Structure 1
Amino acid sequence: MALEHATIPTYLTAYYSIHSATNSDAAHIIRVVAVEEMLHLTLAANVLNAIGGTPDLTAPGFVPSYPAYLPDGEDDFTVDLRPFSPEAVETFCKIERPGKAPSGSSRLVRASDNGRPLLAASPTAKGMRFYSIGEFYEEIIEGLEKVAADDPGLFCGHPALQVGPEYFYSGGGTVITVSDLDSARRALRFIAAQGEGLDSGIHDADGELAHYYRFRQLQLGRYYQVGDHPDAPSGPPLSVSWDDVYRLKVSARLADYPAGSELAGAARKFNADYEAFLALLTKAFNGKPDLLQDAVWYMFRLRDGFNRLVRNPLPGSDGLHAAPTFEIPNAVGPGPDAARTAGGTAQAVTR
């Protein structure tokens, strides 16, 4: 859940940095992915609830301190809060990049694998990384399989805690309720496939593009069609204007705002609103699933808070504009320096 959430602030920052009535193709792609990350977050919550866990998006460390490493152990790039730009899209592609190990036994590999970027640290095997995010999910599935084989009562969660498809709809898929090993497998593999296109390729069985290839369209300037090679989309041209964007200060912090200024107040107000959004999601995942629709609406209601910041220059920043900081009291995790340690990474994975 921490992994799925960590992508949402970076996608929203890029989305709201785009000038109104411009870059409609890019804005649509980013917005759809952000909504589908909410779907992934919900699926992960359903799995956690199914095995008797308690989702808590307000827990200490749940929100990363940007710039940050993703909380699944990736350490060859950081995720920033930056405006829509080639650099932002490159990061999006790294977040969603595909990768399948040659075999299950090679899912865990040494971090020094000839300099090849490897993802997801193992909390139990020091110096090892998972081959990819998709393989990270496969390892979770394998773990569930092994535990379920010895513990028939693994899936002990109350059915009332499940968020059903009637509470969340996105054009990219519906919620899967989890009650047993089979439904848990389907939920987790759906997340990996929709993000990376791991097993289904560019398009899934419903003809939807995986997130990685949605973002690749922005880099290649053209839409994919069914049957296209991954590096050669043949659909209509996709127009991108990199200049029609507010030049935000990358990964701004509250300390960057003049003390007592209106912008500082707006940044704190935004963080309070985002904290309320996380609290609303936590309630939705703990027995009040009808609140999930309100939470999705609330996520885009944050637009007003974004606009109060991104449309205004930040004093002392050479013309750069202000931006939300996503600093949530008591819920913000360590930054990338702390995450470099094996212990910090293990805590992030197991949190």
Structure 2
Amino acid sequence: MIRLQSKPIASLAEARKQLQTAIGVEFGTLPPYLYALYSIPPGQNLQAAERIKSVAMQEMIHMCLACNILNAIGGEPALKPPKYPGPLPGDIGPPGGKPLKIRLYPFSKEAMAQGMAIEEPMDGPIDFPDKPMLKAGKSETVTIGEFYTRLDAYLATLPASDWHAGRNQIDDNQYFMGQLFDVNGYPDAHKAIEQIISEGEGASNSPLDFQQEVAHFYRFEEVFRNQVLTKDPNPKGYAWTGTLGVDWKAVYPAIIDPASHDFSHDPPAARAAQKACDAAFSRMVRELQLAVTGHEGHLGLAVRAMFDLRMAAHVAFTTPLADPKKVAGPSFVYKPGAWK
């Protein structure tokens, strides 16, 4: 059971601080999810790749919605890429334990288990047939869903004068049609928070989100189990059946946590591949930062930079290191000016 450190919200300043933490968590999940996704060779593990990709895209949407809420209450979103390995904002981790060290794993059971840990539902995973799991009790720490629920409860108390309609909002006129929207007051913020919680962990007593699609936690579990969660006439309503055709060996032989690797002894091509990855990621961060602070048109440039990152990652994953049996994907290190 992985949870965030959370404090009661007693002021607008504290709400802004908590929203910044939420933004950091949403943004911080992108690199580990993308590293696992990009490490799958073209044409391999297609169903697994589609599930991971859908989660990553929704995490970007969640980040933008959280930024819209923060902008609407007068805050200034700041995108600060975490270091990997390392903790996410909010010190996500087990109750009473050390913060979880988020790592960049290539496509593997370890990568899926980490995703499940991050996305775990508020009341624990639903115990579908053939998968007994323990539910966690209450503690001073909270799941991501509970974290957002507390934010929602405080935002509901704010007077209309604390909301700033139209301030630095990101809409869906470029990408993510129907999923991004302006936050101009509490009703919009509540809608955004409900979407974030539902897509991450599912609706109450259901593995499905508000769009009737499998929530993030269960998408990762499908891949981890190599099974499909389908409707079933049992009391839980769903059961594990079939297969996704997962082949854990059909993955590039990538190292874990490339930021911890010393590339100085690797071939020039491997170093050049890392430089290209750093440039694309840094450009993506820069464009996202501009997008969430009111610069129109930059969300599209950020999405384009993400595509560039995927192309650079493909080169990196197919370029041998000094050990010819190993490769390294993008380290997701932000370097100011690297995009020039």
TM-score normalised per structure 2:
0.79
Quote the Cα distance in structure 2 between the aligned partners of 1:246 and 1:315: 16
Look up the match of 1:110: none
Cα-to-partner distance string for 1:246-304 (whole Å, 9 max, x where unaligned)? 12110012651026833223213311221111111122222234332332232122122
- The structure 2 residue matched to 1:31, chosen from 50, 53, 58, is 53
In the alignment, structure 2 segments of 5+ residues that lack a partner are 1-22, 95-99, 125-134
- Does the Cα contact within 8 Å between 1:46 and 1:178 map onto a contact in 2? yes
Q: CA deviation at 1:189?
A: 2.0
Cα-to-partner distance string for 1:154-182 (whole Å, 9 max, x where unaligned)? 112x5152122333326xx6113211112
- The structure 1 residue matched to 2:290, chosen from 269, 283, 294, is 283
- Does the Cα contact within 8 Å between 2:283 and 2:305 map onto a contact in 1? no
Cα-to-partner distance string for 1:26-85 (whole Å, 9 max, x where unaligned)? 11111111111111111011101101112232xxxx111111222122124322111101
Quote the Cα distance in structure 2 between the aligned partners of 1:232 and 1:247: 33
Q: Does 1:134 align with 2:156?
A: no
Q: 1:301 and 1:269, CA in 2 relative to 1: closer, same or farther beyond 3 A?
A: closer
Q: What is the identity, as a one-letter code, of the residue corresponding to 1:145? A: A
Quote the Cα distance in structure 1 between the aligned partners of 2:273 and 2:300: 26
Quote the Cα distance in structure 1 between the aligned partners of 2:335 and 2:44: 35
Look up the match of 1:199: 204
Look up the match of 2:273: 266
Q: CA deviation at 1:230?
A: 8.0
Look up the match of 2:332: 326
Quote the Cα distance in structure 1 between the aligned partners of 2:299 and 2:314: 24
Q: Does 1:64 align with 2:82?
A: yes
- The structure 2 residue matched to 1:86, chosen from 105, 109, 114, is 109
Look up the match of 1:305: 312
- Does the Cα contact within 8 Å between 1:100 and 1:135 map onto a contact in 2? no
Quote the Cα distance in structure 2 between the aligned partners of 1:308 and 1:186: 40
Look up the match of 1:180: 185
- Does the Cα contact within 8 Å between 1:100 and 1:131 map onto a contact in 2? no
Q: CA deviation at 1:99?
A: 1.6
Q: 1:262 and 1:254, CA in 2 relative to 1: closer, same or farther beyond 3 A?
A: farther
Look up the match of 1:221: 226
Look up the match of 1:42: 64
Quote the Cα distance in structure 1 between the aligned partners of 2:318 and 2:69: 40
Quote the Cα distance in structure 2 between the aligned partners of 1:139 and 1:73: 17
- The structure 2 residue matched to 1:74, chosen from 82, 85, 92, is 92
Of 89-98 and 158-167, the range deviating more from structure 2: 158-167
- Does the Cα contact within 8 Å between 2:316 and 2:328 map onto a contact in 1? yes
Look up the match of 1:155: 163
Quote the Cα distance in structure 2 between the aligned partners of 1:132 and 1:98: 7
Q: What is the identity, as a one-letter code, of the residue corresponding to 2:118? A: I
Of 302-311 and 68-77, the range deviating more from structure 2: 68-77
Quote the Cα distance in structure 1 between the aligned partners of 2:175 and 2:167: 15
Q: Quick one: higher RCO (CA 8 Å, sep 6+), 1 or 2?
A: 1
Quote the Cα distance in structure 2 between the aligned partners of 1:206 and 1:256: 44
Q: CA deviation at 1:219?
A: 2.2
- Does the Cα contact within 8 Å between 2:71 and 2:77 map onto a contact in 1? yes
- Does the Cα contact within 8 Å between 1:118 and 1:131 map onto a contact in 2? no
Quote the Cα distance in structure 2 between the aligned partners of 1:221 and 1:231: 16
Q: CA deviation at 1:18?
A: 0.9
Quote the Cα distance in structure 1 between the aligned partners of 2:137 and 2:312: 36
Quote the Cα distance in structure 1 between the aligned partners of 2:296 and 2:55: 21
1:166 aligns to what SS in structure 2? coil
Quote the Cα distance in structure 2 between the aligned partners of 1:55 and 1:13: 25
In the alignment, structure 1 segments of 5+ residues that lack a partner are 102-115, 120-127, 332-351
Q: CA deviation at 1:117?
A: 7.3
CA RMSD, 1 decimal:
2.7
Quote the Cα distance in structure 2 between the aligned partners of 1:238 and 1:20: 16
Percent identity, aligned pairs only, is 30
Q: What is the identity, as a one-letter code, of the residue corresponding to 2:106? A: P
Look up the match of 1:334: none
Q: What is the identity, as a one-letter code, of the residue corresponding to 1:6? A: G
2:161 aligns to what SS in structure 1? coil
- Does the Cα contact within 8 Å between 1:89 and 1:215 map onto a contact in 2? yes
Aligned length: 298
Look up the match of 2:194: 189
Q: 1:165 and 1:226, CA in 2 relative to 1: closer, same or farther beyond 3 A?
A: farther
Of 48-57 and 207-216, the range deviating more from structure 2: 48-57
- Does the Cα contact within 8 Å between 2:282 and 2:333 map onto a contact in 1? no
- Does the Cα contact within 8 Å between 1:26 and 1:218 map onto a contact in 2? yes
